[in-house]
Amino acid sequence: MPGSRLDEIDRKILSELQADGRMTNVELAKRVGISAPPCLRRVRTLEEQGYINGYHAKVNARALGFEVQVFAMVGLNSQAEADLSAFEARCRAWPLVRECHMLNGEIDFILKCVAPDLSTFQTFLTEELTAAANVASVKTSLVIRGAKDEPGVPFDVLEDRLARSA
């Protein structure tokens, strides 16, 4: 089972860092119940093993003037691997696209886009996204408001699964 290779302290470290990636190593060690040097070694190991991909500030987009958030559902003409990879590379190059996920079903990709205003998004939509090679269709939904935006994974669910399998 994924996550079972980690011991309880490693999982606590990940949970605490997911909640607050800015805390000092001393504070983290105190929260997980070990001393600072082994805590730092464990964090470095978790980074090296790919359990920690980075540390980021959660920036308030609206406070910075990005008033528009849109989900764009994209259908492609071809789902050949080279065409899928080319579209993903194009998405990585577009600054307004903040997330890009390939889906199964009738929609090939869903993109999360942010823009300062509708005009900027519309220009991106008509001049970039719908004009891109291999794009067959685009359906958009404007976000009215968000009810939840939690990063990472629910560690309580992981702990419950591990307890049931023990």
Q: Give the pTM.
A: 0.86
Q: Mapping DSSP to helix (H, G, I), strand (E, B) and coil, where does residue 160 land?
A: helix
Looking at residue 4, what is its pLDDT? 53
| Residue range 6-56, pLDDT digits in tens | 999 999 999 999 999 999 999 999 999 999 999 999 999 999 999 999 999
User: What mean pLDDT is predicted for residues 144-154?
Assistant: 92
Position 1 confidence tier, pLDDT thresholds 50, 70, 90 = very low
User: What mean pLDDT is predicted for residues 106-134?
Assistant: 98
CB 68 within 8 A of CB 116: yes
Q: How far apart are CA 19 and CA 151, in angstroms?
A: 9
CB 97 within 8 A of CB 111: yes
Looking at residue 165, what is its pLDDT? 86
User: Which amino acid, one-letter code, is at 138?
Assistant: V
CB 136 within 8 A of CB 76: yes
Position 3 confidence tier, pLDDT thresholds 50, 70, 90 = low
User: What mean pLDDT is predicted for residues 95-109?
Assistant: 97
| Residue range 8-17, pLDDT digits in tens | 999 999 999 9
Please report how many Cα atoms fall inside a 13 Å half-sphere around the Cα of residue 135, on the Cβ side.
21
CB 67 within 8 A of CB 117: yes
User: What mean pLDDT is predicted for residues 141-146?
Assistant: 96
Structural domains in the chain, sorted by start: 1-57 (1.10.10.10), 62-142 (3.30.70.920)
Q: How far apart are CA 36 and CA 156, in angstroms?
A: 24
Q: What tokens were used for 13? A: 């470290």
The DSSP code for 127 is I
